[in-house]
Structure 1
Amino acid sequence: MMNSSDTRVFDWRDTWLVGHAQLDEEHQAFAQLLAALLAAPDDSLAVCLDELISHASAHFAEEDAWMRRLNFPAQQCHMDEHAAVLRSALGVRQRLNGGEIQPARRFAAELAAWFPPHVQHLDSALASWICKQAWNAKPLVFHSRARAVTAAAPSFV
């Protein structure tokens, strides 16, 4: 866990790619917003947290809809994690409104610890399920020295 005085950059890692282009793009955007929140000066925390909440709300709602529509086996566990993150974020935002800075710093650090395993386990399983439903195949992630490339999302998702 990063402590509240830790200003390390939260860099995107290609090991977080799940092989679904739209998910991968949205996860990269989430990582950028989280990096901004982690590095934000106190007077920018609210704006950065609001941007992250907005992105996460839309992204989680979209994933949740896919899981319901495709009858994803682990949907309840996955959706419960999304809901817990959003509840925590909104609670932290209320405390930030009251002038409490440290809960926002701790939340950002905990989110940075939560994000990689969530993507690597739950979101990668969702990407696999989507590809299985669309093409009866597994998602592919091609790594090169320059950058990684993922397959396009199926049209029904």
Structure 2
Amino acid sequence: MSRLQWSDALSLDMPAMDDGHRQFVQLLDLAHEASNASVVGHWRDLIAHTTRIFEREDRWMHATRFSSDHIHSTQHQVVLQVMGEGLTAGESGQLGPIRHMAGELGQWFANHSQSMDAALALHLRRVGYDPATGVLCMPDDIALQA
């Protein structure tokens, strides 16, 4: 399976999202390249970063009453659970699950970013939400969706 590389195709034209996604791709690449002695540490770093970007997206969805928030957040929870299972296996000396997940996670992330995250970015722009500041420019649009 080919490894995920950052490209313009992954950009959502929203720096607050793109910066976190770009770092995700970098951390995933480090996990791919890691030696057996360091792969668990790199996987742990990837989980910590992924947790932060998922929590941030979940806050944005909640703040703007994003209609697909439950589906999107559930996918975040499932991915973090599976990544955690890989970490548990790795900490017990079984590196195969992490190695396998690192290969699969890139494809999942590209699909998630270009579908669910793209829809979220479009929604945030439509309602005038600035993820960097948390300022909502068109709160009336949010009230109409409720």
> How high is the TM-score relative to the length of structure 1?
0.81
Name the % identity.
Answer: 29
Q: Which has the higher helix share?
A: 2
The normalised TM-score by structure 2 is 0.87
- CA-atom RMSD, angstroms? 1.6
Equivalent position of 1:112 in the other structure: 106
Report if aligned partners of 1:38, 1:105 keep a CA contact under 8 Å in 2. yes
1:7-46 matches, cutoff 5 A: 10-46=4-40
SS of the residue 2:13 aligns to: coil
User: How do 1:111-130 and structure 2 match up within 5 A?
Assistant: 111-130=105-124
Please tell me whether the aligned partners of residues 9 and 39 of structure 1 are also in contact (alpha carbons under 8 angstroms): no
The Cα offsets for residues 119-138 of structure 1, whole Å up to 9 and x where unpaired, read as: 00000110100000117xxx
Aligned letter for 2:120? L
Contact 1:131 1:154 in 2 (8 A): no
Tell me the amino acid that sits aligned with residue 18 of structure 1: L
Counterpart code for 2:61: M
Q: RCO (CA 8 Å, sep 6+): is it higher in 1 or 2? A: 1
Look up the match of 1:66: 60
AA aligned to 1:85 is: V
Find 1:97's aligned residue among 66, 91, 98.
91
Q: Deviations over 1:10-37 (max 9, x none)?
A: 3211101112111001100000001111
- Which segments of 5 or more consecutive residues in structure 2 lack a partner in the other structure? 136-146
Residue deviations 1:43-80 (CA, integer Å, cap 9, x gap): 11111101101100111001001101111011111101
Deviates more, 1:8-17 or 1:117-126: 8-17
Shift of 1:153: 4.9
Q: State the number of aligned residues.
A: 135
Offset of 1:41 from its aligned partner? Answer: 1.2
Structure 1 range deviating more: 9-18 or 108-117: 9-18
Which residue is 1:156 aligned to?
A: 134
Change (3 A) 1:95 1:154: closer
Runs of 4+ in 1 over 6 A off after TM superposition: none
Counterpart among 50, 53, 65 of residue 44 in structure 2? 50
